[in-house]
Amino acid sequence: MSGPSHAVEVAQGKISGLIRASRSGRNSIKVRELLSGPNLVVFSSLDVTEVQVDAPLKNVVAIAFGMLDALKETSDRFGDNTESLLLAAGGPERDPGPPAAGNRRFGREIILSKPIKGCSSIDQVIEGLPRFGYIAEGVVTSK
């Protein structure tokens, strides 16, 4: 089972989506039918490896999308074509799925509020993550 979703928002009934992978099509569909509801969309997949690999990778790409969001607001050099380029570079063979919100938010903040200014390594950025008050798991994955 993989997101993108925050468990808290699922529990609050906010519209969310998950993907359930299993080598057994029957099991994947059964879990999808059990968990799906008016606020939770569950997709089925037979490609367990793809879901395992893409789950963390989409978080790294989400940070880049957040940065691009902020750059589009602050510069006229970035637009929809740039976003398409990033999507293609981030996963041309696979659809990485919707990015986790905390990662995209972190990417925006890198550009707008510069929370990693002064960090000289990814380890320093990781050490500082607790002060943000949300999870940006793509930072750890990028290491």
Whole-angstrom Cα distance, residue 25 to residue 4? 21
Domain extent for 24: 1-46
Mean pLDDT in residue range 117-130? 90
Is residue 22 located within the same domain as residue 42? yes
Res 96: pLDDT? 45
Number of Cβ within 10 Å of residue 76's Cβ equals: 6
What's the pLDDT band for 91 if we cut at 50, 70, 90? low
Whether 25 and 77 share a structural domain: no
29 and 59, same domain (yes or no): no
Known catalytic residues are 58
pLDDT at position 92: 43
Residue type, 97: G
Q: What is the pLDDT of residues 37-46, one digit of tens each?
A: 999 989 888 9
pTM for the whole structure: 0.69
Banded pLDDT at 122 (limits 50, 70, 90): very high
pLDDT of residue 98: 52
Query: Position of tokens 């789950």?
Result: 55
